[in-house]
Structure 1
Amino acid sequence: MMNGTSNWQVVLTEFCTLGESPVWDDRLQRILWVDIIEGHVHEWYTAARRHVMTHFPVKIGAIALIDDGAVIAASDEGFVFLDLRNRGVKRITDPESRLADNRFNDGKCDAVGRFWAGTMDEVTGKKGAGSLYSLDKDGRATRRVNNVTCSNGLAWSLDHQTLFYIDTGTHQVQAFDFELETGRIANPRAVIDIPESEGWPDGMTIDAAGMLWIAFWGGWKVARWNPYTGEKLSEIKLPVAQITSCTFGGKNLKDLYITSANIGLTDAERSAQRLAGSLFVVDNLDVGGIGPSRYVQRESPSDFATHTIHGH
């Protein structure tokens, strides 16, 4: 496996303020990702080499695919449906509507189609201000973890019995016993302790061998870790500091797509990191990934005219 290599490519010249939430769509052979601050959803169709960007009047922390082709998102307006073709937004529920400084951040679907996403205080970064939620198919949000500072990476073990989770400020990966049928979690414990010298652990994905790939904000890299031993196995160096997330894609799920950000950089840092905010890809890794699960909802989100959000 790679260690310290620079075998990366830029997918396209499109710089995100805060790129996040890369999602591979195996049906349409496209990679999707978001720019949280700008409210953009990007789509890159790999065969046609075609880029589509859609703007929405919300800050979009994370997205996931839906079986009928729509997209679900976790945003500063709570959980919403997004219509990428007509630019519609339909509200589902906002469990933190009374917390004006909070917004949703990273999110992902489990194997039965629940959408998991967590929050953070984006104004002051107040410690413990956020929570982790799951959204069931009936549109009901359940709080699963509280006292979260910056909710980030999510992944499930290959047997779906363990949830791995990152609250960035802890410099740890936590594991929970996970009950797939109900979504219940229990027995939280730290399985990876990450030295501060690595950077801040951000987004995360799991590979076909059950190892975790973690993006490091301020770390200039993604790194592969063993959640059963806590050992760092390898890393891929990148030309920018603020690496936010990663996911596997491509026809064989062996291409690693990596998002980044340029928010908060000084002029000197921007000059030194001219690719900051890019989407990167590392092709044809030795190990592949797991295809993303889709959100399964009870009713179709096709009626975007109802409860449509027009602005912040």
Structure 2
Amino acid sequence: MSAEVFVNIQCLLGEGPYYDEQNAALYWVDILDKKVYCYTIENEELHTKEFDQHVGCLAPRENGGFILGMEKGVYSYDWQTDTLAHIAEPEPHLPENRFNDGKCDPMGRFFVGSMDHKEKQTTGSLYMVADDHNVHPMIDQVAISNGLAWSPDHTSFYFIDSPTKQVMTYSYNKETGHIHSPSVAVTFPEGVGVPDGMTMDEEGMLWIAHFGGARVSRWNPISGELLNEYPIPAQNVTSCTFGGPERKDLFITTASAKTNDNTLKKHPYSGAVFRIRTSVRGLKTSLFKG
């Protein structure tokens, strides 16, 4: 399995891919360029929506449109009408923070994490936004809130605070959304970058993007064992998600930001979206019920 360029674009900080199975479309964000992209596979068209603030992540809503984690809070967004509506602002007291990665849990709650925009303080947190739009703090003192995933049996939650170079696992209560009893599931060795976004396959294995490491990797979170590594022709690999007709295609976002000229010459497709055709299926994406 090797990575191919799927959408040739130079995102500053491509992130948060989501595959819409019903419409065979891939969505992702460029955080620093304040954009959301949609690539429709049937007609190979790229559509763009621009915003007036950084957009960290998006997740689909059950009643249509998306929920977004943005610079100034959590919003709903209707792609068809281009309508943005404010849902919550969990951190009005932290103007230097912005929201980063986020996903919906198996019951349709939105988990979204924040970070210090300058990446200097551990002022970030992870929150759960319930379907009634009430916000519940989950984890605090986070530097760069990143990858999230839930086990196929819905008993474990996985979370990345990138500078720690670890994936933490928590016991997860599906009925309440609450997490507890943290422990280390995966530790990145030196010299392979830091863990960024991630996703999970049906076998319960984690696929993790390496920011600064030019690869994605597959891990067993129970044993902490590295199973496979797949090189990506971009230094800063940011996130990944499964999609395609059988949910076996791994779509991978990358960044051109924080890349010097020499590295860009070596990796001219930095910022593009890549695809790896795998032999395993990813988990079905959960929708926000609010």
Could you say whether these structures have the same fold, taking a TM-score greater than 0.5 normalized by the shorter chain as the test? yes
Structure 1 residue 202 corresponds to structure 2 residue 196: yes
Measure, in 2, the Cα distance between the counterparts of 1:150 and 1:64: 19
Measure, in 2, the Cα distance between the counterparts of 1:20 and 1:44: 14
Measure, in 2, the Cα distance between the counterparts of 1:26 and 1:223: 24
Residue identity over aligned pairs, in percent, reads 38
Q: Letter of the aligned partner of 2:100 in structure 1?
A: N
Deviations 1:204-236 (A, max 9, x none): 000011000000000000000000000000011
| Displacement of 1:14 | 1.7
Match of 1:178 among 172, 181, 186: 172
TM-score by length of 2: 0.98
Structure 1 residue 191 corresponds to structure 2 residue 195: no
| Displacement of 1:271 | 2.0
Which contiguous aligned blocks of 4+ residues in structure 1 show a shift greater than 3 angstroms?
none
Residues 238 and 255 in structure 2, CA contact (< 8 A), matched pair in contact too: yes
Residues 26 and 291 in structure 1, CA contact (< 8 A), matched pair in contact too: no
Map of 1:93-242 to 2, 5 A cutoff? 93-123=88-118, 125-242=119-236
Measure, in 2, the Cα distance between the counterparts of 1:16 and 1:86: 25
SS of aligned partner of 2:262 = helix
| Displacement of 1:157 | 0.5
Deviations 1:103-154 (A, max 9, x none): 010110001100101011012x234211000100011111100011110000
Which residue number corresponds to residue 287 of structure 1?
280
RMSD: 1.0
The worse-fitting range, judged by mean Cα deviation, of 47-56 and 208-217 is 47-56
Residues 55 and 87 in structure 1, CA contact (< 8 A), matched pair in contact too: no
| Displacement of 1:268 | 2.4
Deviations 1:64-83 (A, max 9, x none): 00122211100111101122
Measure, in 1, the Cα distance between the counterparts of 2:6 and 2:78: 24
Which residue number corresponds to residue 32 of structure 2?
37
Residues 120 and 129 in structure 1, CA contact (< 8 A), matched pair in contact too: yes
| Displacement of 1:26 | 1.2
Measure, in 2, the Cα distance between the counterparts of 1:17 and 1:87: 23
Match of 1:85 among 80, 89, 94: 80
Q: Letter of the aligned partner of 1:87 in structure 2?
A: D
Match of 1:275 among 265, 269, 277: 269
Structure 1 residue 71 corresponds to structure 2 residue 66: yes
Q: Letter of the aligned partner of 1:74 in structure 2?
A: G
Residues 63 and 289 in structure 2, CA contact (< 8 A), matched pair in contact too: no
Q: Letter of the aligned partner of 1:242 in structure 2?
A: N
Which residue number corresponds to residue 21 of structure 1?
16
Which residue number corresponds to residue 242 of structure 2?
248
Residues 235 and 263 in structure 2, CA contact (< 8 A), matched pair in contact too: no
SS of aligned partner of 1:268 = helix
Structure 1 residue 50 corresponds to structure 2 residue 45: yes
Q: Letter of the aligned partner of 1:110 in structure 2?
A: D
| Displacement of 1:9 | 1.4
Kindly tell me the number of residue pairs found equivalent between the two proteins. Answer: 290
SS of aligned partner of 2:264 = helix
SS of aligned partner of 2:191 = helix
Residues 62 and 73 in structure 1, CA contact (< 8 A), matched pair in contact too: yes
User: Where does the alignment leave 5 or more consecutive residues of structure 2 unmatched?
Assistant: none
TM-score by length of 1: 0.91
User: Where does the alignment leave 5 or more consecutive residues of structure 1 unmatched?
Assistant: 298-312
